[in-house]
Amino acid sequence: MANLSVDSKVAKTVAQIGGINILASLARSMNRLVAEEAAGGLWNLSVGEEHKGAIAEAGGIKALVDLIFKWPFTNDGVLERAAGALANLAADDKCSMEVAEAGGVHALVMLARHCNFEGVQEQAARALGNLAAHGDSNTNNAAVGKEAGALEALVQLIHSQHEGVRHEAAGALWNLSFDDKNREAIAAAGGIMALVSLAQSCSNSSQGLQERAAGALWGLSVSEANSVAIGQVGGVAPLIALARSTVADVHETAAGALWNLAFNPGNALRIVEDGGVPALVYICTKSLSKMARFMAALALAYIFDGRMDEIAAVGPSSDGDIKSVTLHVVKKMSLKHIETFVCSFSDSQTFATVITSSAPTALTQVAEVARIPEAGLLRCRLVNAELLPSTSHLIFFSVQQKLEDLLPCYFTMPGGRHATHHMSLLQNAGAPRALRAVAAAASAPFEAKVFAKIVLRNLEHHPGKPIRSREFWVAF
């Protein structure tokens, strides 16, 4: 029955004749072979969403957790199957809470820490990563981080010789890095150096591992201290190498990480010196991912926002002159491609209608063309008033301004996971007044005026409540 359940049609029949209850009962057997086969059957049945609820109702989650506590670490077959089934179940929000309530976090961390079998380590790391993937709807992310030895174990698994183990450990750390406390604890456990080393060594590895290595560094780099540390231990160069990938998913995470790193002037200069600008320009113009193009444009904008100029000027005068010329050339190239990206959402006829009338249908049309669904998953923690539109710097920084007006447009789109949060930040920072000034300014760039009107529409239709916040844009 366990092997037959690999086939989805047969699995459905097994469930209909009461097979799930039978397997959940057999998983409690004191006979190792019986328990192993039962756990394997539940693993197969838990693939997809159809049978997860039934497994939970049959007591299968508790039975699987108990298996891990019951059998010694030498029983890799039963432990791998139990962890694999729990990993599948943990991908479901409701089931993930039941896994945690049944003691699953402790059981899985125990496997990650003490079991030496790579198959078990891989499934335990995958399960912990799935448990941590529901940060917006339950507390499992924080619970995994608080479990003694959990983060240290996952960091150690990054050094595994088995690619599957590294893949799942990096994915788990990426998910866990969305929690503020976890982010700092991962760094304290040696996670930055481990992940930078992984990024340096995974150029010939699977696309999934490359995506997760860059993704985990992206998550950690939300912290300013972590961002500085990543730059200091050589994390910029491998991220640039990953940004040169031909795979859109890798583009997204590498560009996202470089975007966060670019908030630090020292890192911004490293990105330029290590050849990151051409890589980001390529993503901005050629990537098949609209999200990757968006983040590459943001990274380029923050690299050349003027904050690194003072650092770049330090050194012998001749070197400083050469560096100044080089920076001017790459900045000019970057701004050109940023403007091309922003203008790719422009339609002169529709924009003209928006400028003259702010007709709801025209605003909606422009917003839909500009919409990037994945951008709705990004969460900005803080708002910098200097990044809000202002007529005073439109004349001098028109390209950056166009992008900066596009940024809140993305983050306040109705339907975005964190749209209400972003609207609250903007309301609290006094954005409506600034946006209205841009929309009415004769000197404002065409695109800036349109995107300002879209954000105003979003704020008016879905007003956020004013909250207290420090001032700085940082995206998860």
Final residue before a domain boundary, out of 156, 189, 222:
189
User: What six digits make up the tokens of 98?
Assistant: 């039941």
What is the rounded average pLDDT of the residues 369-397?
54
Say whether both 31 and 132 belong to one domain. yes
Q: Sign of the C-alpha dihedral, residues 212, 192, 120, 123? A: negative
- Tell me: pLDDT of 469 over 50: no
- Phi, psi (rounded to 5 degrees) for 389: -60, 140
Residue 476: inside a domain: no
- The enclosing domain of 274 has a CATH number of 1.25.10.10
Q: How confident is the model at residue 467 (pLDDT cuts 50, 70, 90)?
A: very low
> What pLDDT score was predicted for residue 401?
57
Say whether both 87 and 180 belong to one domain. yes
Instruction: Compare 320 and 273 and report the one with higher pLDDT.
Output: 273
Say whether both 249 and 385 belong to one domain. no
> What pLDDT score was predicted for residue 89?
98
- Tell me: pLDDT of 387 over 60: no
Say whether both 397 and 305 belong to one domain. no
Instruction: Compare 16 and 74 and report the one with higher pLDDT.
Output: 74
- Tell me: pLDDT of 471 over 50: no
- Tell me: pLDDT of 27 over 70: yes
CA distance 106 to 104: 5
> What pLDDT score was predicted for residue 1?
55
- Tell me: pLDDT of 404 over 70: no
Q: Which has the closest alpha carbon to 333: 278, 292, 283, 296? A: 278
Residue 466: inside a domain: no
> What pLDDT score was predicted for residue 157?
99
Final residue before a domain boundary, out of 189, 217, 232:
189
- Tell me: pLDDT of 386 over 70: no
Q: How confident is the model at residue 399 (pLDDT cuts 50, 70, 90)?
A: low
Say whether both 313 and 370 belong to one domain. no
> What pLDDT score was predicted for residue 311?
76
Instruction: Compare 464 and 236 and report the one with higher pLDDT.
Output: 236
Per-residue model confidence as pLDDT tens digits over 338-356: 888 877 876 666 667 776 7
- Tell me: pLDDT of 375 over 80: no
Q: How many domains does the chain have?
A: 3
Residue 84: inside a domain: yes
Say whether both 68 and 212 belong to one domain. no
- Tell me: pLDDT of 306 over 50: yes
> What pLDDT score was predicted for residue 261?
97
Between 136-140, 232-236, 443-447, the lowest mean confidence (pLDDT) is in 443-447
CA distance 306 to 463: 33
Say whether both 15 and 83 belong to one domain. yes
Residue 138: inside a domain: yes
- Tell me: pLDDT of 62 over 90: yes
- Tell me: pLDDT of 459 over 50: yes
CA distance 253 to 82: 31
Say whether both 40 and 169 belong to one domain. yes
Instruction: Compare 413 and 266 and report the one with higher pLDDT.
Output: 266
Output Rg (C-alpha) for the chain, integer angstroms. 25
- Tell me: pLDDT of 317 over 70: no
User: What six digits make up the tokens of 4?
Assistant: 């037959």
Is residue 275 classed exposed, middle or buried when 0-12, 13-18 and 19+ CB atoms within 10 A define those classes? middle
What is the rounded average pLDDT of the residues 439-447?
81
- Tell me: pLDDT of 325 over 80: no
Instruction: Compare 448 and 462 and report the one with higher pLDDT.
Output: 448
If you count them, how many residues does the chain have? 476
> What pLDDT score was predicted for residue 400?
58
Say whether both 219 and 184 belong to one domain. no
Between 88-92, 143-147, 197-201, 415-419, the lowest mean confidence (pLDDT) is in 415-419
Amino acid found at 303: I
Residue 195: inside a domain: no
Say whether both 82 and 109 belong to one domain. yes
Instruction: Give the residue numbers spanning the domain of 262.
Output: 203-344
Per-residue model confidence as pLDDT tens digits over 276-285: 999 999 999 9
Say whether both 352 and 452 belong to one domain. yes
Instruction: Compare 393 and 25 and report the one with higher pLDDT.
Output: 25
**Mean predicted lDDT score pLDDT of the chain:** 86
Say whether both 26 and 115 belong to one domain. yes
Between 132-141, 234-243, 324-333, 458-467, the lowest mean confidence (pLDDT) is in 458-467
Residue 140: inside a domain: yes
CA angle 263, 181, 225 (to 5 degrees): 30
Structure pTM? 0.86
Residue 338: inside a domain: yes
Residue 469: inside a domain: no
> What pLDDT score was predicted for residue 147?
98
Final residue before a domain boundary, out of 299, 328, 344:
344
Backbone dihedral region for residue 358 (phi beyond 0: left; psi -120 to 50: alpha; all else: beta): left
